[in-house]
Structure 1
C-alpha cells in the first residue's frame, strides 16, 4: 500500500503549511463559484461526492482497509434524511442529524462483523452487506422501491436560511464539505491517524507495541461511514430525491474510482478525483451506457500508468505532501 501513498514523505511543519495554503486556496476558489456563472448543481453534486471520496480515503488510504460497500452509508443516510424531511416533517438540520446518525449506527453494526476479517475477506464482507441492504431497501415500503423518495422539501436551515435558493444551498453544502474535510485532515494528522498508518504498514508490529488494532480499525470504519453518511444527507438537498442508485454496488465502485484517479492516501486527491469523474459523467452523458465503459478504461489507465493518481504524482514529483 505504501507505494500508492505519499506517506513516505515526512509530515513536517512545511508540509502542514503547504497543505493549509492549498486548503485556503481551494476554499477561496469554491466560495467564488456562484460569482462565475458555473452551473451550481454540478459543483454541489461534486462536493458531496468529494466528501464521500475523502471519507473512503480515510479508511483505505490511511487504514489500509478496502471497502466495497461504502454506498450503503451514502444510501442509508439519504433514505433516513429524506424520510425525516418528507414524512416526519423535521427541519433540515434535524434531517441531517437523523441521516448521519443512521449511517453511524450502520457503521457500528456492519463494522463489528467486517473488522473480524482482513484483506480481500474484509472487502467481500462489506460488498455482501451492502448488497444485502440494497435488496432490503428494494422491498421496504418506506423507500418506495425503484421509484425512491421524490420531491423532498428543502426547507429553512435553522429556520433562517432558505435552502430552496440555489446560492444559499450552495454555501451550506460548501460549509458541510469544508467541515468534513477539516475533520478528516485533523484525524489523519492526529496520534490516532499515526496509529492507523502504522497498522496499514505492519499490523503485527503495531500489535506487538501494545495497540489494540481491531479497535482502531473499527473506529476508523465507523468514522468513515459516518462522514460518508453526512455526504449522503447533504446530497438529498441537492438532488431532492433518495433512490436505490446510491445503495448499489456500482456506486461503491465509483467511489473507489474517484479515490484512485485523484490519489490514494493523499489529502486533496479524492477531491480532484470526484470533480474529474462527476465532470466526465456530466459532459459525456450523451454517450449513454458508454460512460461506464469510459470509466472502466480510465480505471485501467490509472492502474497501469500513474498508480499514485493525479495529486499523488504531483506530490511525488515535487516531493511534497498533498
Structure 2
C-alpha cells in the first residue's frame, strides 16, 4: 500500500499555520489559503499533466455562487454548502473537460477560455447572482456546534480544508496515477503507445482540478460572506497562472508560495499604489520570470541540487 511520506516543509508549514493568527490578521491568512488551494489545483493540471487552462476561474466562481446561494437562500448546513459548491464545480469540470481534451496545446487553452467566458455571462445574467452587486450577506453558520462567525474558529476550519486538499494533491502526484500524468506531460505519444487511455486520464485530472478549485471558491465565499462576478472573470484565471508560474510550476509548494506572495503584495500595494497595483504586479512578474525561470521554489530546488552535487563530487 502506497503511503505519502511527511516532509519537514509540510510539518513546518502546518505548525506555522496553527500559530499564525497570533501574529497575522486571520482573514488575510485565510485569503492566502483559499488562493493557495486554487493555485495548487491549477498546478495539478498545468504543472503535472501539461494542460494549460485559461478558464479555471469558472470553477472558482461557480462554486462560490452555489455555496453562497445554498447557505443564504436554501439555508443548508455549512458543510452541505461547501460540498454542493465542490460537487457543482466538479460537474462543470466534467462538462468542460470532456469538450476541451479533444484538442491540444493552444487550442485546448482557447476552448477552456471560451467555455469559461460562457459560464461568466451565464452567471452575470442569472437572477440568483444579483449581477454586478454580487451575492452578499452569505451566513457562515455553524459546524459541529462551533460558531463560524468567529474568525478564529473559521480560520482553523479553513486550515483543515487546505491541509486535507493539499494532502490529496500530494497523494495524487505520488501515486501511479500521478506518474502517468507526468508521463503524459513529458511524452504523450509514448504513453498512448503503451496502451493507456490518455483522454480518460486527462479528464480525471481535469475534474479533480476543477473540484479542488471549486472547494477554494466555496471556502472563499464562507470567509468573505459574499460571491462576486470577479471570482469567475478571465482576469482571475490569469492570476492563478501568475501564481503558479511565479512560485514554480510542477513543484508541490510552488503554487502556495506564489499565491502567498501575490495576495500579500496586492493587500499591501492597494494601500499605497491604488489603481497602479496591476501595473506593479505585471512588472514584478516580468522581473521574476526573467530572474527565476523555474519559479521561486523551482530555482531553490535547482540550487539545492547543485549544492548537493558539488558536495558529492
Scaled by the length of structure 1, what TM-score is found?
Answer: 0.92
Q: Does residue 82 of structure 1 match 2:68?
A: yes
Matches within 5 A, 1:293-304: 293-304=279-290
In structure 1, the residue matched to 2:310 is none
Task: Indicate whether 1:177 and 2:162 are aligned.
Answer: yes
> What is the aligned partner in structure 2 of residue 148 from structure 1?
134
Aligned to 1:32: 19
* Aligned counterparts of 1:99 and 1:176: Cα–Cα separation in 2: 14
- Which residue matches 1:99? 85
Superposed CA RMSD in Å reads 1.3
How many angstroms apart in 1 are the aligned matches of 2:294 and 2:280? 20
Alignment of 1:19-168 (within 5 A): 20-36=7-23, 38-158=24-144, 160-168=145-153
- Counterpart of 1:249 (choices 230, 234, 237) is 234
Equivalent residue for 2:267, pick from 270, 274, 282: 282
Q: 2:299 is matched with which residue?
A: 313
Instruction: List runs of 5+ in structure 2 lacking aligned partners.
Output: 307-313
CA distance in 1, matches of 2:108, 2:136: 34
Matches of 1:177 and 1:307, distance apart in 2: 27
Q: How far apart, CA to CA, are the structure 2 residues paired with 1:302 and 1:134? A: 30
State the match for 1:197 in structure 2: 182
2: CA distance, partners of 1:120 / 1:65? 9
Q: List per-residue Cα deviations over 1:11-36 (Å, max 9, x = no partner).
A: xx9xx76x611100000001111222
Render the CA deviation track for 1:172-223: whole Å, top value 9, x for unaligned.
0000000000000000000000000000000000000111111100100000
Gaps of 5+ in 1: 1-12
**Once superposed, which parts of structure 1, at least 4 consecutive aligned residues long, lie more than 6 Å away?**
none
- Give how far 1:235 is off: 0.6
Q: Deviation of residue 288 (structure 1)? A: 2.0
CA distance in structure 2 between the aligned counterparts of 1:298 and 1:187, rounded to whole angstroms? 32
Distance in 2, Cα, partners of 1:75 & 1:169: 21
Cα distance, 1:98 vs. partner?
0.6
Where does residue 207 of structure 2 map in the other structure?
A: 222
SS at match of 1:181: helix
Where does residue 211 of structure 1 map in the other structure? 196
- Of 217, 235, 260, the residue aligned with 2:220 is 235
Deviation at 1:302, TM superposition (A): 2.6
Give 1:301 deviation, angstroms. 1.8
> Residues 260 and 302 of structure 1 are in contact (CA less than 8 Å); yes or no, is this contact kept in structure 2?
no
Indicate conservation of the 8 Å contact 1:57/1:259, yes or no: yes
Q: How far 1:233 sits from its partner (Å)?
A: 0.6
Measure how far apart 1:157 and its partner are. Answer: 1.1
Task: Output the CA distance in 1 between the equivalents of 2:231 and 2:267.
Answer: 17
TM-score (norm 2): 0.95
